[in-house]
Structures are given as C-alpha cells and as structure tokens.
Amino acid sequence: MEHQRAVEPHDVVDLITTKRFGRALEPDEIAWVVDAFTRGAVAPEQMSALFMAIVIQGMERREIRDLTAAMIASGERMDFTGLGRPAIDKHSTGGVGDKVTLPLVPLLASLGVAVPQLSGRGLGHTGGTLDKLESIPGWRAALTTDEMREVIREVGGVICAAGPGLAPADRGMYALRDVTGTVASVPLIASSIMSKKIAEGAGGLVLDVKFGSGAFLPDLEVARELAATMVQLGADSGLRTVALITDMDAPIGRAVGNANEVRESVEVLAGGGPADLVELTLALAREMLDLAGLPDVDPAPALRDGRAMDAWRRLIRAQGGDPDAPLPRAQTRETVRATSSGIVQRVDARAVGVAAWRLGAGRARPGDPVDHAAGIEVLVRPGDRVEAGDPLFELACDQPKRMDRGLGLAATAVELGDAAPAPRALIADRIDADRIGAASIGG
C-alpha cells in the first residue's frame, strides 16, 4: 500500500498570497509554517517566497511576536538562575572592526555580572566573534551546556557558539534568507535575534543596533525601528531589554581582521586601545550593570587596574586557549597611501570590511575557512589632515591575488575634502521599554 502523506492544516501557498497582499497571518498559521519548514513539509522555494512577501509588506507587531514565539518553540530553553550572580546578555547587529564582545565579557565578569555570550561567525563584510577568538591557539567555541555553565561559574562569563537545540528553526530560516536576498527586513532580523536571546534565558539584554555604511541596515531611522521592535519583543516575553543605536559608518577602532582584533581587544583590557572602542565598551557595560542591579558601579577602573585582564586570561584558559601564545601574523604587508592632500571626510566601513573579506579575513559562504592572519590596520580617522603619500591603511595577507584585490578596494575607502567634517556621535540614541508605544511595526 502506498504511503499516505500527512494532511497539513494549512496550505503554504495561501499564506504566501495572504502576505503578498499585505494581510496579517494568524497565530496558528505562523506557528504551523515555522514548524512545517523545519520538518521539511514546506519547500525552501515556498519559504523564500513568504520571506520576500514579508520583506515587501512587513508584519504587524503581533505577527512578529508570534513568529518569534514559534522559533523559540522549535527548540530548548536555557536557564541561568542559580549562578549566584545576575546573568545579562549583549547582542550586536554586526559591523566592521566590532570586537567589543572580547573586552566586554571579561570586564563584566570582573564586576560580578554573569555574561552567557552566545556568538556567531562572520559572513561577508562583517566579522564574527568566534572567528576572532579562534585566532588564539587551542581556544574552543563549541561547548556543551554543562561546559558553558562551568565556565561561567569559574570565570563569570563565557563566549561560545549556540548549541543546535537553541531555536533550531532560525538556523534553517537564516541560511535560506542569506541566499535569497531577504536578510535586511526588520521583522525577520528582530525575530531571528530575539528568538535565540529569549530562549537563552538571561535576566536582561543590551542590544547594540548599528547604522551606517558598514551595518546591515544603513539608515538611522530603520535602525531605530529595528531596535524598538526588539525591545518590544523583549518586553512581551518578560526579558528586560535596552538598545543603543550606534554609528557604523566608520570601522570601530583601528584593527579589522581576526587576530588583529584580538590584539586590539587586549590593548583595551590593558587600559589602552582606541578611544571609540573604549567608549562603546564602557557604554554597553554601564547598561548591562544597570540591568544587573548595579547602576552605581563604574566599569572604567577595572580596565585600568588589571581586573578585566585577569578575567580575560581565565576565560581564554577555561575554553582551552593559551592567552600567552603568539597570534597569527601575515608576513606580507602593503600600505595604501593618499594620492592627494586634504582632510579625511569619512572612512567607509563597508569598503574596509569588503577589502578585509577579500584578503581572506571573512567568508562568502557558511563553512568557508578564514585566514586569521589577514586584516587591515586603519591609520586615519575622519577629521585627520593627510598629505599626498601619507599612509591610510596597512594590509596584511600572504596570498598575492588576495592582496591585489584588497588593495584595490581599500584605496576607495577614504574620502578627502577641504574642510573638517561635521562630528558624528558614536552613540546616536537609546531605546528602552518606556519609549515604546503599541503601534504596529512595518517591514
């Protein structure tokens, strides 16, 4: 007897049509389509069509909440109560030179806050925290839940990969969005991020939502919309959530690339480092301390007196790494020099990120290897005066073809002018639950 296929309660074509005409999907429809796609009953091309309809038509607040809940329900939920210290998480929407997690986690750990930081890998022009840390000999990203808890108990924080049981629906959905041009959608980004963060089980969450050329969402107002949407989702689930809107028009710090960014993070932990990287690290730390019930604790002294550095060394050792081991360093280095004189108007974060990617520091597809030694040192900032022949960037890469491509891209990343540019604040806005209304959120 021929095997009978199970009768599904909905037809995905009907859902695609509903959303294509801008109508809202019902809670049971959203729950079904997420589950059906995860178990293979909805084809990838059908889910792609639904994603594109969402990108074009948007989703109401209730729909985004239902989508997030369905993705959480696809897997397990973690619990960090019982650690003896408040557990507060942080998430960045990604950017160029954004290595803030590396100094931030040990800084908070040194101040009595548990940070269960589940991080990802880079794709395209943005770097990945796990790729950076894997520059350190022996360091392990893959930890079991028990190992993760043990590192938090021992050190106060952990930085590792999310396990396969945490919002598994998001893994397949994001992989499909990545190859179908449907990543840059507020409802889809918000539900992807918040499904994992809510399932993670921390007591509070601080979001670093970036805008500018190096961000996935370059426009400030769209970044505000994304931040508000995620803060709403946190409030709806009982997760205290705060978002900072931060500028990603220029790279953060000087270093771009994996081992490069680890070196710069260690500078910050030693009490130095670039001013913008230190500013952002401390701003996020203060928000996390506030959510942890420690609003009067100043995090800055812990960067100067060695406490944060001690926590970093314990963290690296606890995950199998050697904090004293030399980091990979490319032997071939080339300098990009100014071809004319002027005042630096901007350093295009996306152009720098793509150049580093072409050098081998990033990947085009999930699973591609990265060159931990490849990267870029950014030698100028907006407002600097340069003369023809002055160095703008130093590129590091041991593959000649990659170096040629990186040099060509980096040469386009600096814009010069005659007058000083208007200053840009690193932190453009702050959004918490008190600022959020009940309006629906669009696409």
Digit-coded pLDDT (tens) for 188-237: 999 999 999 999 999 999 999 999 999 988 999 999 999 999 999 999 99
The verdict on whether 196 is a catalytic residue reads: yes
Kind of pairing, strands 427-431 and 240-247?
antiparallel
Q: Check 131, 170, 348, 432 and give the catalytic one.
A: 170
Domain identity same for 361 and 380: yes
Give the Cα separation of 187 and 19 in Å (integer). Answer: 13
Domain identity same for 300 and 403: no
Answer whether residue 7 is part of any domain.
no
Answer whether residue 213 is part of any domain.
yes
Q: Check 110, 192, 195, 265 and give the catalytic one.
A: 192
Q: Check 125, 132, 149, 196 and give the catalytic one.
A: 196
Q: Is the pLDDT of residue 365 over 80?
A: no
Digit-coded pLDDT (tens) for 275-334: 999 999 999 999 999 999 999 999 999 999 999 999 999 999 999 999 999 999 999 999
Domain identity same for 168 and 132: yes
Domain identity same for 308 and 292: yes
Domain extent at residue 369: 333-417
Q: What local confidence, expressed as pLDDT, does residue 439 receive?
A: 40
Answer whether residue 116 is part of any domain.
yes
For residue 42, give the CATH number of its domain: 1.20.970.10
Contact (CB, 8 A) for 232 and 436: yes
Domain identity same for 315 and 351: no
Domain identity same for 309 and 338: no
Answer whether residue 64 is part of any domain.
no
Domain identity same for 214 and 270: yes
The whole-number average pLDDT for the span 71-78 is 93
Which residues are 343's β-sheet partners? Answer: 385, 417
- Is the torsion defined by CA of 55, 221, 208, 355 positive or negative? positive
Domain identity same for 110 and 173: yes
Cα-only R_g, the chain: 22
Domain identity same for 216 and 117: yes
First to last CA, the chain: 47
Give the Cα separation of 71 and 69 in Å (integer). Answer: 5
Answer whether residue 197 is part of any domain.
yes
Domain identity same for 116 and 162: yes
Answer whether residue 4 is part of any domain.
no
Domain identity same for 253 and 349: no
Domain identity same for 262 and 300: yes
Structure tokens at 95: 């950017």
Answer whether residue 340 is part of any domain.
yes
Answer whether residue 6 is part of any domain.
no
Give the Cα separation of 145 and 277 in Å (integer). Answer: 31
Q: Check 85, 121, 149, 177 and give the catalytic one.
A: 177
Q: Which of 58, 79, 96 is the last residue of a domain?
A: 58
Number of domains, the chain: 3
The verdict on whether 91 is a catalytic residue reads: yes
For residue 247, give the CATH number of its domain: 3.40.1030.10
Q: Check 91, 149, 313, 358 and give the catalytic one.
A: 91
Confidence label for 106 from pLDDT (cuts 50, 70 and 90): very high
3-state SS assignment for residue 311:
helix
Structure tokens at 249: 């028009």
